[in-house]
Amino acid sequence: MKSDSRSLDERSLILVTGGSGFFGGHLTAALLAAGHAVRVADIRPPAGGTPPGAEFAACDLCEVDQVAAACAGVTHIFHLAGNPSGTRSVTDPLWDFRVNALATTNLCQAAVSASVRRMVYVSSGMVYGVPLTTPIGEDHPLTPFIPYAASKLSAEQSVLAAASTYGLDASVARPFTLYGPGEDPATSGGEVSRFLRWHLNDLPVPVTGDPDLKSRDFTHVDDAVAALRAIMDRGAAGAAYNVGTGRETTLTGLLEIIESATGRAPRAVVDAGTTDDTYRHVADIGRLRALGHRPSIGIEAGIRSMVTALGPAPQVPTLPTVFTMAGTPRAS
């Protein structure tokens, strides 16, 4: 019998779109470990094969029929599939809009048709644009400055429109900078993975922006997974929730933590003049805390575990460090 509960229970069939990717893979593993039934919908299968206990639905979310098939019998959806890269969105904004915004509208329609009980859309903290205040609360103005942020915001609006028009019970999650094992060095723009991959290979570490001023809310993927589950179970319909730690770490601070974890100082090559993304991007997680979520993995412990997971010579990042927009170089 299909679950009639908003929160996840033993009768739930949970669809994880993007479950073959970094964040979706960790979420799928956590849901399976908690005993839930999970269907992964992705354009490509998980790199290590479909995890035991999960179903895999090969699905391009831009294709209406494929999305409808993936949603059959589903009670809950975590929607993570799409393009996670700002850099790639600048290179190919039409593709970015298609896989982030159009695909989400498709999924909302399929979710309504399948009478899905509840959906959490994984947006991004990038929708706020350059912060006017730090930490950034959910009521901060939404001012995207790259195509990625515009497509994520458009997708959010599609979800909220489906909620008000068709009664879809949905919430939005806005993760800040995630890190953890399993990131794809070809698509990940996060500084933790990139800095570590260069440093562990004894290569210089390119740092874009003023490292004393540029700060991020580095969030371990396992904490982000716990946050998504809290939002699914207890989040309000139509509400957005920042997913972060609330802790601010400058790039200088990150380099020091990497030195402490590896026993040697990274050879940072600072290029403060070629980017204007030197701002403080830190989440106010008061709303998430009110759901009972507490981040549990400090950046020091998270980086120590990343060093172990990556090993001595991990694959180096291939995504360009800097892209140029309207004549202005920006970091990814």
Ligand X SMILES: NC(=O)c1ccc[n+]([C@@H]2O[C@H](COP(=O)([O-])OP(=O)(O)OC[C@H]3O[C@@H](n4cnc5c(N)ncnc54)[C@H](O)[C@@H]3O)[C@@H](O)[C@H]2O)c1
Q: 211 or 244: whose CB is closer to ligand X?
A: 244
Cβ distance 6 to 23 under 8 Å?
A: no
Q: What one-character DSSP code corresponds to residue 317? A: P
Does residue 42 belong to the site contacting ligand X (CB under 6 A)? yes
Q: 66 or 275: whose CB is closer to ligand X?
A: 66
- Only one of the segments 6-14, 17-25, 133-141, 311-319 lies at the binding site for ligand X (rule: CB under 6 A); that segment is 17-25
Q: 42 or 277: whose CB is closer to ligand X?
A: 42
| Rounded Cα distance, 105 and 45, in Å | 23
Parallel, antiparallel or unpaired: strands 118-122 and 170-175 = parallel
Q: 49 or 312: whose CB is closer to ligand X?
A: 49
Does residue 156 belong to the site contacting ligand X (CB under 6 A)? no
Residue 209 Ramachandran class (φ > 0 left, ψ -120 to 50 alpha, else beta): left
Size of the site for ligand X (CB under 6 A): 27
Per CB under 6 A, contacts with ligand X among 176-235 are 177-178, 184, 187, 190
In the complex, least distance from residue 253 CB atom to ligand X, rounded to whole angstroms: 18
In the complex, least distance from residue 84 CB atom to ligand X, rounded to whole angstroms: 4
| Rounded Cα distance, 4 and 226, in Å | 22
Return the residue of 103, 108, 225, 303 that touches ligand X, per CB under 6 A.
103
> What mask of x and - would describe binding to ligand X in positions 121 to 140, judged by CB under 6 A?
-x-x----------------
Does residue 81 belong to the site contacting ligand X (CB under 6 A)? yes
Three-state DSSP class for residue 146: coil
Cβ distance 101 to 159 under 8 Å?
A: no
Token pair of 169 as six digits: 């019970």
Q: 9 or 63: whose CB is closer to ligand X?
A: 63
In the complex, least distance from residue 275 CB atom to ligand X, rounded to whole angstroms: 18
Query: CA triplet 117, 119, 123: central angle to 5 degrees?
Result: 175
Token pair of 290 as six digits: 């009110």
In the complex, least distance from residue 176 CB atom to ligand X, rounded to whole angstroms: 7
Residue 79 to residues 34, 85, 119, 270, 320, Cα–Cα distance (Å): 19, 16, 7, 36, 27
Does residue 18 belong to the site contacting ligand X (CB under 6 A)? yes
Does residue 84 belong to the site contacting ligand X (CB under 6 A)? yes
> Which of 326, 237, 243 has the alpha carbon at shortest distance from 282?
243
The backbone torsions φ and ψ at residue 152, rounded to the nearest 5 degrees and listed phi first, read: -70, -40
Question: Taking the C-alpha atoms of 75, 4, 231 and 223 in order, what is their torsion angle to the nearest 10 degrees?
Answer: -60
Cis peptide before 51 (omega within 30 of 0): no
Residue nearest to ligand X (CB): 21
- Only one of the segments 29-37, 79-87, 136-144, 203-211 lies at the binding site for ligand X (rule: CB under 6 A); that segment is 79-87
Return the residue of 8, 12, 15, 23 that touches ligand X, per CB under 6 A.
23
Residues that bind ligand X (CB under 6 A): 18, 20-24, 42-44, 59-62, 80-82, 84, 99, 103, 122, 124, 175, 177-178, 184, 187, 190
